[in-house]
Structure 1
């Protein structure tokens, strides 16, 4: 209860700039939670989807993979589905790789969506804190100029303490937002790397099957 009272008093003494900083913090936390849930879901669906696709590739059920990529929302299915669709038009490895890279480039923006906002919101929170402190100090010095000389020292120290609350709250808001930003970027990079690895596995498997098929036809002839 004492901690709650301290927080409320700290917020009240900070002045009007505490409210926009609190709004920035709330918005950043909401974005961080939404992105974490989305990326965690994408990671799970990718793992599940590739576990389903790999047996299809081993069985050369390419049409099934393409159909799955059309109905499944896992990012990795779109990447592999793009490569399989191109394989039907051109068996060259480079063409299949380009198609998968194109599918990956279409998927990455959805994974990175709104994450950069966290860095921007952290900067905004810091700047609002500094602005609140500057305006508070200006108001404090103006009040001290017209105050009784015996009260100037105590009034000035009290006013400065109150003005510094906004800077403290701005930093308190900015630090976790920057931490969330770094965490989500790392999580996004891991997902992208896993999709690239899945694409390479898929291409190697397709080319190995193609080479085996060609060797089988050559031996039959």
Structure 2
């Protein structure tokens, strides 16, 4: 493996850095975007129970806001509930913007890595072919080893660029779709809360998080 990396030349350095960065982002987002962390399934029922008991004030409300992205939306709705249905919905929508932005953190960088890695590999291909032609120009094809060095550089960098780009692109698309699913789920929970606060929904705690 080390010999393969060396044969790819200096362009393997940015490709290796890109692969390490992509892996770090993929693992970090896998941990951060867990469904139970972003939108705990029992959170709305717990919030409603605490609200009915008069316990959702002050510190409890701040804990709700900081506890999860869904909690931040529900807290925004609760804080503005006394201003009417439309103001409650508007407050939730305003709170959703930074929440979704945080969920999408690092994904632009992951997408960029997926796009530039094949280009770095292509650049390595060009550089390798140029090296091979320089060998031929300088001494003909009498030294196959020297000629093979340029060809090896071209092939290794191309393969490395594609190998970095494929998982980065797959995970980038997956996380974008996953965030859309989480966003829809949080919106549904927030709408339920608005309906319950303003008397548009009959409340059954057993079905609150259904």
Q: One fold, TM greater than 0.5? A: yes
Q: Which has the higher helix share?
A: 1
User: 99, 103, 108: which one pairs with 2:95?
Assistant: 103
Report the CA distance between 1:50 and its aligned residue: 2.7
User: 54, 72, 75: which one pairs with 1:81?
Assistant: 75
* TM-score in terms of structure 1 length: 0.80
In structure 1, what is the equivalent of residue 164 of structure 2? 173
> CA separation of 1:148/1:81 partners in 2, compared to 1, >3 Å: closer, same or farther?
closer
Report the CA distance between 1:174 and its aligned residue: 0.6
In structure 1, what is the equivalent of residue 185 of structure 2? 194
In structure 1, what is the equivalent of residue 208 of structure 2? none
User: Following the alignment from structure 2 to structure 1, what is the Cα–Cα distance between the partners of residues 165 and 183?
Assistant: 27
Where structure 2 has 5 or more consecutive residues not aligned to the other structure, the ranges are 204-210
User: Following the alignment from structure 1 to structure 2, what is the Cα–Cα distance between the partners of residues 181 and 26?
Assistant: 15
- Asked whether 1:147 is paired with 2:139, we answer yes
Report the CA distance between 1:21 and its aligned residue: 0.2
State the aligned residue count: 200
User: 19, 22, 26: which one pairs with 2:20?
Assistant: 26
Q: Which has the larger radius of gyration?
A: 1
Runs (4+) off by over 4 Å:
152-158, 209-212
* TM-score in terms of structure 2 length: 0.83
User: Following the alignment from structure 1 to structure 2, what is the Cα–Cα distance between the partners of residues 77 and 185?
Assistant: 21
CA RMSD of aligned residues (A): 2.6
Q: Could you tell me whether the CA contact under 8 Å between 2:44 and 2:193 is conserved in 1?
A: no
Where structure 1 has 5 or more consecutive residues not aligned to the other structure, the ranges are 1-6, 213-221
Aligned ranges for residues 61-80 of structure 1 at < 5 Å? 61=54, 64=56, 67-72=59-64, 73=66, 74-80=68-74
User: Following the alignment from structure 2 to structure 1, what is the Cα–Cα distance between the partners of residues 180 and 60?
Assistant: 25
User: Following the alignment from structure 1 to structure 2, what is the Cα–Cα distance between the partners of residues 119 and 50?
Assistant: 34
In structure 1, what is the equivalent of residue 207 of structure 2? none
Q: Could you tell me whether the CA contact under 8 Å between 1:65 and 1:81 is conserved in 2?
A: no
